[in-house]
Every structure is written in structure tokens, then in C-alpha cells.
Amino acid sequence: MGEAKVRAVVWRHSPILQFLKAAQEICPEYHPLLLMAVRAGLRRGELVAVQWGDIQLGGDDNDSERFILVQHNYVRREHTTTKSKKSRRVDLSRELRRILVERRDKRLLQAYLKGKNDISDELVFRSSEGTILDPDNLYHRVFLPVLAKAGIRRIRLHDLRHTFGSLLLQNGASIVYVKEQMGHSSIQVTVDTYGHLIPGANVCFVDRLDEVSANPEETTPQQSATPAQQVEMEVPPDLLQVVDEIGGGAWTRTTDLRIMRPSL
């Protein structure tokens, strides 16, 4: 018999706010790490292995070029690559970017005072000794106390990753985008993992068909034919001449390609 699957626990908006508030109150040093877990969906080994050189903060909050290049992992006390063996780009939310900018500036100041002007190879999150955090210690000494403070029942640290993926889908992100952000090997993995977490998502789309049928006169140009579709339906004059010359024999001469091509 195979192993029983562990069902993911996914938070809504309210528990996330409770959780982050509790983190800010009892362990502010680790608040950015926990925020990254919720807002970027990194695996726990990826979280502790992120380096400053992996982060593109962009010019400001409106700069779309703000992301984490996830390419490191820490598993069984060994530095390694991501689970898929490939790096991936995970976009930064504005809130996460702001918190990381504050942390970077503080870390840069510390580096300057020591005569160093580059921190790209340093860990974003590290222990008090400056070493990489142990994921198990992080879970027991930081994560569980924050859950207790927030009054939230115990879950796995990995469930913050599931929360990230499922909320992206529920907020309207495409399945392709979620796949890329999560670093899944295929879209099927994404669907198998998170499909059941968006009840009614498909029903709303078929319901919209009823709305269109009930109000045919209110159909907008976007609902009829897009500019691209209209261009495809136009036949260039030189092609019309060629078609006209093709006629003869059993063919009926016509400039309407749809008559010559029953499949259209």
C-alpha cells in the first residue's frame, strides 16, 4: 500500500493577518521570513537558502521587475538546488518588497561598518551566529510559537506554500502563472494539488453564458469579434484574384473562401 496523502491546510485572509501580526509581536526578526513564506510560497529549504543576490527589488513599488530568483535549497543539512533542479522566478508583492528593502538597507549599513560593500552572497535570513537556519528549529522555535500566539491550530510550515498557491487561483491567476510561481514540473501537478481548493470557480464561467444569452443586445464588441479575429476574416485583394482564377470545371467560381472550404 502507498503512503497516505497529507491533506493541505489552506488559510483565508483573516488567519494570515492574525499570523503575521503575532509574528511581528513575538519575533519581529523572523516576520520577513514568514511573510515571504505566505506571499511567495517558497519551500522551507528554499526560504532559509535565499541570498540577497537572488532578489531583484526593482526601482519602486510600481516596478514590475521585482522578484526572487529561487535557485538554492537546504535539505538534510546540505546545500542543494531546487526540487525541480531548475531555478524559477517568483514575483514579489509590494508589501514583501517593502519589508525586504528595509531589511537590505539595515544589512548594508552593517556591512559598510565592517568595510564591506557587497552582500549579494549573504543569506537574507540567518541565525544569530550568521549561519543558515535549520528548518526544523525554525518550525519548533519560531513557527509553532507564532501559531500559539495567534490562536491558530497547528499546521505544517509547508501549508503556507499551499496557501500561497490556492489564493493565487482564487484571486483569478491563471493556472499557468501559478504553475510557474510554484515551480511545479507540469500544469497537471498544479491542478491535482490545488484544483479542489477553488470550489465553484468553473461554474461562474458557465453562468456568465446565461447572462450573455439573456441580454443579446448588450453584447459588447469584445464579446462578438476581437480586432484580431476581424483581420483574419478579411481576404486580401490579390488572394481574391487567385481564387477567382481557380474556378472552372466542377468548381463554382466565388470570391468567398468559406464556400470553397466547408470546414469554416
Tens of pLDDT, residue by residue over 133-167, are 999 999 999 999 999 999 999 999 999 999 999 89
Q: Could you give the dihedral angle defined by the CA atoms of residues 156, 127, 91 and 19, in that order, rounded to the nearest 10 degrees?
A: 40
- 3-state class (DSSP) for residue 123: strand
Cα 21 to Cα 60, 142, 186: the distances in Å are 25, 14, 35
Q: According to the model, what pLDDT value does residue 200 have?
A: 58
pLDDT computed for residue 242 by the predictor: 43
Q: Quote the CA–CA distance of 196 and 177 in Å, as a whole number.
A: 18
Buried b / exposed e over 136-166, threshold 16 CB at 10 Å, is: eebeeebbeebbebbebeebebbbbbbbbbb
Q: Residue 253: what pLDDT?
A: 46
- What integer pLDDT is reported at residue 211 of this predicted model? 77
Q: Indicate the residue type of 42.
A: L
In angstroms, rounded to a whole number, what is the distance separating the alpha carbons of residues 29 and 99?
Answer: 11
55 Cβ contact partners less than 8 Å away, ≥ 6 residues apart: 67, 68, 69, 92, 100, 104, 124
With 60 as the cut, is the pLDDT of residue 249 above it?
Answer: no
The grid cell for 84 is 525541480
243: CB partners within 8 A, 6+ apart: 235, 254, 255, 257, 260
pLDDT at 228: 39
Question: Which of 99, 89, 88 is CA-nearest to residue 64?
Answer: 89
Radius of gyration over every alpha carbon of the chain, rounded to an integer in angstroms: 27
The CATH superfamily of 13-166 is: Intergrase catalytic core (1.10.443.10)
Confidence (pLDDT) at 90: 96
CA separation, residue 41 to residues 34, 91, 157, 178 (Å): 10, 10, 10, 10
Task: Report the percentage of the chain scoring pLDDT > 90.
Answer: 56
Query: Most confidently modeled of 2-16, 37-51, 191-205, 246-260?
Result: 37-51
Is this model's pTM higher than 0.85 or not? no
What is the structure's pLDDT at 6?
Answer: 61
φ, ψ (nearest 5 deg) of residue 51: -110, 160
Domain ranges of the chain: 13-166
Which residues are paired to 69 by β-bridges?
89
How, if at all, do strands 67-70 and 55-56 pair?
Answer: antiparallel
CA 72 from chain center: how many Å? Answer: 18
Residue 233 scores a pLDDT above 60: no
Asked if 130 and 116 touch (Cβ cutoff 8 Å), the reply is no
Total residues belonging to the chain:
264
CA distance 124 to 34: 12
- The identity of residue 196, as a single letter, is H
pLDDT at residue number 172: 84
63-72, 91-100, 249-258 — which is least confidently predicted? 249-258
